[in-house]
Structure 1
Amino acid sequence: MRAAVVISPLASAVLAGCVVSQTQGGAEHLAAPDGAVYEGVDTRLLDGELVNFVVAMRGARGPDDVTAYAECAAAQYALIRGYGFARQVRTTVDEKNGAWTGDAVYTISPALPRGTRTIDAEVVVAACRENGIPTV
């Protein structure tokens, strides 16, 4: 029996060759917002293949832009570590006076992990570059 593979909205857009809108979770807008300022990523290895990404930005249209930034960071980090995949564990987003922060936890792995929030790191990094969203 083959398992179904569910990939992130960013990866889906690259495979489809267009920008899509998601109604349940993930990045609603895939292209970087006009005037967005990406203020950096703080990466913390929590345990083996469990990694925390704290991202900061201004000019986000909403939480999905911050989530997309964290996903781009996670995908690039997975590639840097020699892994091909990541799975989102959780992401929280906060906004204060126009400053957005995201706190995301991902697992990284050499093989496709179980779960519904998995990403192919190479595909996602390519989508991030194409859409003007920085990675690590």
Structure 2
Amino acid sequence: DQLIAINGLSLVGLPLSTCQTYIKNTKNQTVVKFTVVPCAPVVEVKIKRPNTKYQLGFSVQNGVICSLLRGGIAERGGVRVGHRIIEINNQSVVAVPHEKIVNLLATSVGEILMKTMPTSMFRLLTGQENPIYI
């Protein structure tokens, strides 16, 4: 989920430090209204690739999508920069080496199904990162 406003004050596009200050400033208020947008932690992506002559249109580094070709088949399918690939064609790639992920993607054709999630969410869920409390 994403917090987008506090007491009607939009947080969209503001730096994290500013948002944290706004939250801290509500500590003495008896009523605080949060506006939250629900976001699914896992994004399902469908890429339609007729054959290997078509570039997928994204780069992967250690399972994380690090760049995306604007207007390419990956962008049209819902691929997002900064997301961690957790599944390709119903096969978990969480503990799979980088080279194998690249090979799996390079040789896949037809409808390629992927599940991804924001890297920060993946790191929290796998205990690689701890939440920051303010």
Task: Report the TM-score, using the length of structure 1 for normalisation.
Answer: 0.24
Largest Rg, 1 or 2: 2
Higher relative contact order (CA 8 A, sep 6+): 1
